[in-house]
Structure 1
Amino acid sequence: MTSRGIRRKKSSLSEVKVAVVGAPSVGKSGMCANDPSLSLTVRFLTKRYIGEYDHQQESKYKHEALLDGEPILFEILDTCPKGLNELPGNEVAQWADGLFLVYSITDRESFNYVRRAKQSLQPEVPLTLVGNKADMVHLRQVSLEEGEILAKDFECNFAEVAAAEQVNQVGEVFHELCREVLSHRRRAKHSLLDRMLGSKTAYRVYSRGKSDSALPKD
């Protein structure tokens, strides 16, 4: 009885696939030192901040969280390009329900990278532009206004966060993207339902017209 209850609970989980895309930030020994996209992912998953990662290829993580009182199973794909010229492929956009495009406010190249990544992906899913390392304003290379302008160009949400310090803010950007994904799904279902009902209505009208024409004439 208990096991059935657990299975029902797990099956009721909404699953949301999120891809985190950002430029590489490689330090000594080929490790991703303070990588802006990975630090965001690790902060969300573990509530901890780790400055350096042995992370040389894309990884997937699963994480269960409560969103507005409902359990959500996040599947997170963290991409790890080996160079600034390595852009994510279409398979990333096709896999994901939502996308994070992450850059560091202290790194102009990472900002340029997400611009090119967006053009490469051409996503048809909700996305959020995130400027990381907002606590390092003394090293800022990308202004807040530039981030806001790019987000308007992308027609997406925008946030500056400090993954090293702001665990709640990082969690909220993940949750807000998830809300957008779920809203996008509902709109898609309603659109499909409207199309299906529209087709059935048209068929019923056609059938009725045909039967009327078969009535005996005076």
Structure 2
Amino acid sequence: MTSNAIRGIRRKKSTLSEVKVAVVGAPAVGKSALTVRFLTRRYIGEYDHQSETRYKHEILVDGEPVLFEILDTCSKADDDLPSADTLNWADGFLLVYAITDRCSFNFVRRVKQALCGDTPIALVGNKGDMVHLRQVSTEEGEILAKDYECWFGEVAASEQVTQVADAFLELCREVLNVRRKNKQSLLDRMLGNKNSGLRVYSRGKSDSALPKD
């Protein structure tokens, strides 16, 4: 391999954005099905989900390489909220409920209350193919997403690929957007502090009295 090729790989690695996503929801809402559908495009309906699982996956988002680190959390009960470690670890949260389960909808509302106000989230109503068992209306999901100012979509992990991927990609975009804003805000504050210490000299009428070189 030539030195130019090696430098090219190093440049690519240095520009690779890393985004940590926690997939959170009540038991049996399809968190693992959504995650695996996004990672592999395959659907697996049954999971022996006894503990949380972490995946890494590199993908292009709007033409830029992004390394996803996805934490598929494992809630054991409807009151089993994510740990403080999970809340602090993730850059963004995919909050998942099942449209067939009212309790799971209430679960994601409790999770949101535990998050910082500016934490990027995406809201997903899974099992959209089971409308005959619906307990949570689309309008309720839309209203909650409007309240949270986040992306929302109803999907069916068992049938859809693109729609599931959209949820992860939209959350990634929001994480990167917040990151850029925070970086710009920090830069503005640093420049503002530097500029506040500068004494600006303006030439006035009395300048003619200054000694000449």
Same fold (TM over 0.5): yes
User: Counterpart of 2:210?
Assistant: none
2:151 is the counterpart of 1:157: yes
Within 5 A, what are the aligned runs for 1:1-218? 1=3, 2-25=5-28, 35-122=29-116, 124-205=118-199
User: TM-score, normalised to structure 2's length?
Assistant: 0.87
Residue correspondences, number: 201
What amino acid maps onto 2:73 in structure 1? T
Quote the Cα distance in structure 2 between the aligned partners of 1:36 and 1:131.
10
- 2:198 counterpart SS class: helix
Quote the Cα distance in structure 2 between the aligned partners of 1:173 and 1:121.
19
The answer to whether the Cα contact below 8 Å between 2:58 and 2:67 also exists between their aligned partners in 1 is: yes
**Deviation digits for residues 151-201 of structure 1, max 9, x if unmatched?**
122222211111111101111111111111111111111100110011001
**Deviation digits for residues 124-156 of structure 1, max 9, x if unmatched?**
321111100111111111100111111122222
Quote the Cα distance in structure 2 between the aligned partners of 1:121 and 1:194.
26
Quote the Cα distance in structure 2 between the aligned partners of 1:3 and 1:56.
42
- 1:91 counterpart SS class: helix
Measure how far apart 1:6 and its partner are: 2.8
Measure how far apart 1:4 and its partner are: 4.3
Higher mean C-alpha displacement, 142-151 vs 119-128: 119-128
The answer to whether the Cα contact below 8 Å between 1:128 and 1:157 also exists between their aligned partners in 2 is: yes
Higher mean C-alpha displacement, 85-94 vs 132-141: 85-94
Q: Which runs of 4+ in 1 moved over 6 A?
A: none
The answer to whether the Cα contact below 8 Å between 1:81 and 1:87 also exists between their aligned partners in 2 is: yes
What amino acid maps onto 1:172 in structure 2? D
**Deviation digits for residues 105-126 of structure 1, max 9, x if unmatched?**
0111111111111112335321
The answer to whether the Cα contact below 8 Å between 2:151 and 2:170 also exists between their aligned partners in 1 is: no
Measure how far apart 1:63 and its partner are: 0.4
The answer to whether the Cα contact below 8 Å between 1:17 and 1:95 also exists between their aligned partners in 2 is: yes
Q: Unpaired runs of 5+ in structure 2?
A: 202-213
The answer to whether the Cα contact below 8 Å between 1:64 and 1:73 also exists between their aligned partners in 2 is: yes
The answer to whether the Cα contact below 8 Å between 1:90 and 1:121 also exists between their aligned partners in 2 is: no
Percent identical pairs in the alignment equals 67
- 1:52 counterpart SS class: coil
**Computing the radius of gyration over CA atoms, which structure comes out larger, 1 or 2?**
2
Q: Unpaired runs of 5+ in structure 1?
A: 26-34, 209-218
Higher mean C-alpha displacement, 138-147 vs 149-158: 149-158
User: Counterpart of 1:29?
Assistant: none
Quote the Cα distance in structure 2 between the aligned partners of 1:50 and 1:3.
39
The answer to whether the Cα contact below 8 Å between 1:20 and 1:100 also exists between their aligned partners in 2 is: yes
The answer to whether the Cα contact below 8 Å between 2:128 and 2:154 also exists between their aligned partners in 1 is: yes
